[in-house]
Amino acid sequence: MSAAALLDFILTLDGLKAVERQTMPAGLSRRENSAEHSWHGAMCALLLEGECAFPVDARHAALLFLMHDVPEIGCGDTFVYADARSDAAQREVAALEQLLVTLPAQNAANLRELWEEFTANQTPEAKYANALDRLMPLLHNLSHDGLSWREHKVPREKVLARVSFIGEVLPRIWQIVLPRIEDHFAGARYDTGTSLAG
């Protein structure tokens, strides 16, 4: 019975592929989905471990990243700058519990624990994963000349309030992206290719 429940849940996770986000992947002209975001962030956790300002278990951070948006299968993605963001956490908690109800108790507890750790943002791994969660859409916005910022008229101050946490966790990465943010809001135009080097 538990193996069948796990297989059903694995198929349920396919629902994350249908959850559309506001940013577009670099070089593409379509919206990213939450499954892509989760995979990309998990890869970043493994690749950027050496950039973190403190010791971190990259594998555990990758697990946190893979789990953090799973509730969106039930409640959808809420744009981080949207006014409706205030009740997003409650909607995600309810959606998570609904999704986990079919799993064996230990599996459900393990996944809930990962989600709660990411959301609390207290452990080194959670801080690292949360910084990456801010970095990924930032990179996508920079690769598309601030597309979702422009579409939603998000001001510089709101962007910086959201993404400045990256500087605490990934200081060298922050030194690269901060001037790009400032350039965007100063009206500078730059190559919208995928490279942020140089």
Residue 42 pLDDT level (bands cut at 50, 70, 90): very high
d(CA 125, CA 122): 8
* Cα 157-168-153 angle, rounded to 5 deg: 20
pTM of the model: 0.91
Query: Three-state SS for 60?
Result: helix
**For the chain, percent helix, then strand, then coil, each to nearest 5?**
70, 0, 30
Quick: pLDDT tens for 65-83. 999 999 999 998 888 887 7
Q: Domains in the chain and their CATH numbers?
A: 2-132 (1.10.3210.10)
User: What is the reported pLDDT for 24?
Assistant: 78
The C-alpha angle with vertex 142 and arms to 20 and 70, in degrees rounded to 5, equals 30
Q: How confident is the model at residue 1 (pLDDT cuts 50, 70, 90)?
A: low
The residues near 83 (Cβ < 8 Å, ≥ 6 apart) are: none
Q: In whole numbers, what is the pLDDT of the chain averaged over residues?
A: 90
Per-residue confidence band for 84, with pLDDT thresholds at 50, 70 and 90: low
